[in-house]
Amino acid sequence: MKRYLFCLMCVAVCLWRVPEGLAGFSLTEAVTEEPGQEEEIGTRELLPGIRVFGWNLFQGNFSKIREPWYNPSYRIHIGDVVSVKVWGAVELALDVPVDSQGNLFLPKVGNIPVLGVKNEDLVATIETSVKRVYLNKVQVYANVANYQPITVFVAGNVNKPGLYQGMSSDSVLQFLDKAKGINPEYGSYRDVQIIRENRVVKKVDLYTFLTHGNLALFQFKSGDVISVGDVKDRVTVTGDVKRPYLFELTEKSVKLSEVLGLALINPTATNVTVTRWTRTNKKIMESFSVSQGHEVEIYGGDTVDVYPDHVSTLNTITITGENDGMHTLLVKRDETLGDLLEKLTFTPRSEVSAIQLFRKSVALTQKNLLEAKLQKLEELILTTPSVTKEESLMRSHEAKGLLTFIDRARKVEPKGQVVINEKTNFDEVFLEEGDSIYIPAKSNLVLVQGEVSFPGAHTYVEEMTAREYIDLAGALTARADRENILVLHQNGRVVKCDSEKMLKKMAVNRGDSVLVLPKMDGKKLQIAKDVTQIMYQIAVSAGVLLAL
């Protein structure tokens, strides 16, 4: 029992005693950790993509600061060492500790009370006492040489509660950082209390530091407690803001303008949507203008989504190809293709009769239609049963090739070309935002692709038919689908030739393309039909001949 009590006494002395021979400032935390055991608790997300405001505040950067600096507001503490120099009528140079009564003792001067004296007043306080003894030509200089370490308890909703050493002039941020910061799940950044002798002597709202960089100085004493309270109400802010975070409220409800002020909305933001869940588990959504911020009440648990909702009076149109003018134009929303063409400057090589219009919304529709076809084909391939083992092996081999085809087809990006027929009235084709106008150059070539012996480009010959161009390319191959031969005109119009008679009559113009699709053999009827339709769809929407 005696040995046990002796050990306790040794531990107590080790915890509270300042090491002898302390030269300069040196602190040791009362709570230590094993290397490699740190966990970045504060960085985790509470909601997908959303963190609490202030999550990156405590990353160890405050606790790394261990060197003292001159603080004029620092009040002298018991145990501090003051370096005093006196010259003139008497020569004196001493490092004097502040005793337990709060006094400095100078030989032939006596005790000088300095406890609680501000750093900036230290020289004047000592000089007053010295000049009471030495009346003539005495100069005094004093400086705090060593600061007495103190111990502060950090408790409440922090990640590593405990007893930590520091300077009495250290900020609350430094002590919280030593405790690995505030717990992001249930700790409050707005309710931090400093307790001394069981009484709250200061309350700290860290949002003033996070938003404005303001942090009031406070001088700690040994035995002080920093207590982090429970978070009460939070609001989630997302969208067109610089700070998309979970924000803590100090009241049950605040004005929307206060929340937006914390989130720092972007200049483009115009509207907000507020989502709220009632106690009866009903979802309520309301939209407001940003300008209504002082009227709308926001409650804990709400989600505020900020977004831009602008009405543009102009459309941006891109011009490519044989054009001598500007390549990007701003046009009014009610302008038509006819109005635009009047503004363009053509070159001698411009093929005005074959102007092409590409539209993003059309490209998106084509992509969605293609994806629907591919998904249907994929389901058909994977669910087609086999009766025998031999058939199963054959189906497996065919399925592998078809799935590769589907994967390649999914990478095709449709152009979104709007077909302009010969009888189209340009003054009735209204332009949309992001439209692209391509002015092709006059061409003397006809392209023949697909299932022909020698695919390539051929010079245009007036009155030659599609059949004759195919013959120039070495005729059709054995895999050619004679009922799916396409003639693609420059203006986007597609003509399908499904018979020899039609091929011989089909006129081909300058710059046109002849595409011969492959025939699907050895597959189930429905699969062959779907693959053919997909090939046709890709050829029309993207101008690409994709084969198995």
**What is the residue extent of each domain of the chain?**
25-31+41-67+149-230, 81-146, 233-307, 366-542
Give the range with max mean pLDDT: 25-29, 72-76, 110-114, 130-134.
Answer: 110-114
The confidence score (pLDDT) of residue 279 equals 85
User: What percent of the chain is predicted at pLDDT more than 90?
Assistant: 39
Please give the average per-residue pLDDT across 235-256, as a whole number: 94
Please give the average per-residue pLDDT across 269-284, as a whole number: 91
Q: The tokens of 484 are what?
A: 């799916």
Give domain 25-31+41-67+149-230's CATH superfamily.
Answer: Outer membrane lipoprotein wza domain like (3.10.560.10)
pTM higher than 0.85: no
**Letter string b/e over residues 522-545, b meaning 16 or more CB atoms within 10 A of that residue's CB:** ebeeebeebbbebbbbbbbbbbbb
The confidence score (pLDDT) of residue 25 equals 37
Cα separation, 114 vs 423, in Å, equals 101
Instruction: Name the pLDDT band for 469 (thresholds 50, 70, 90).
Output: very high
Task: Let me know if 144 is exposed, middle or buried by CB neighbors in 10 A (0-12, 13-18, 19+).
Answer: buried
Instruction: Name the pLDDT band for 263 (thresholds 50, 70, 90).
Output: very high
Task: Check: CB of residue 149 under 8 Å from CB of residue 166.
Answer: yes
User: What percent of the chain is predicted at pLDDT more than 70?
Assistant: 87
Helix axes 360-383, 389-410, angle to 10 degrees: 170
**Letter string b/e over residues 167-192, b meaning 16 or more CB atoms within 10 A of that residue's CB:** bbbbbbbbbbbbbbbbbbeebbbbbb
Cα separation, 409 vs 366, in Å, equals 13
pLDDT higher than 50, residue 24 = no
Amino acid at 211: T
468 sits in which H/E element: helix 466-472
420-466 pLDDT tens trace: 877 888 899 999 999 999 999 888 999 999 899 999 999 999 889 99
The residues, any chain, with a CB within 8 Å of residue 310's CB and separated by 6 or more, are 268, 270
The confidence score (pLDDT) of residue 545 equals 66
Rounded alpha-carbon distances, angstroms, from residue 126 to 87, 134, 480: 13, 12, 108
Cα separation, 200 vs 309, in Å, equals 48
Give the range with max mean pLDDT: 117-126, 225-234, 498-507.
Answer: 225-234
The CATH code of domain 233-307 reads 3.10.560
**Bigger pLDDT: 531 vs 256:** 256
Q: Do domains 81-146 and 366-542 have the same CATH topology?
A: no
Instruction: Name the pLDDT band for 532 (thresholds 50, 70, 90).
Output: confident
The confidence score (pLDDT) of residue 400 equals 83
**Average pLDDT along the chain:** 84
Residue 482's φ and ψ, nearest 5 degrees, are -70, -10
- Which of 188, 192, 253, 204 is CA-nearest to residue 52? 188
The residues, any chain, with a CB within 8 Å of residue 338's CB and separated by 6 or more, are 425, 426, 427, 429
Instruction: Name the pLDDT band for 354 (thresholds 50, 70, 90).
Output: confident
Q: The tokens of 389 are what?
A: 């083992």
Instruction: Name the pLDDT band for 257 (thresholds 50, 70, 90).
Output: very high
**Bigger pLDDT: 388 vs 340:** 340
**Bigger pLDDT: 24 vs 125:** 125
Q: Could you please report the per-residue DSSP string of 364-431?
A: HHHHHHHHHHHHHHHHHHHH---SSHHHHHHHHHHHHHHHHHHHHHHT-----EEP--TT--GGG-B-
- Which of 492, 538, 504, 488 is CA-nearest to residue 518? 538
pLDDT higher than 90, residue 518 = no
Could you please state the CATH topology (level 3) that the domain comprising 81-146 is classified under.
wza like fold (3.30.1950)
Could you please state the CATH topology (level 3) that the domain comprising 366-542 is classified under.
Outer membrane lipoprotein wza fold like (3.10.560)
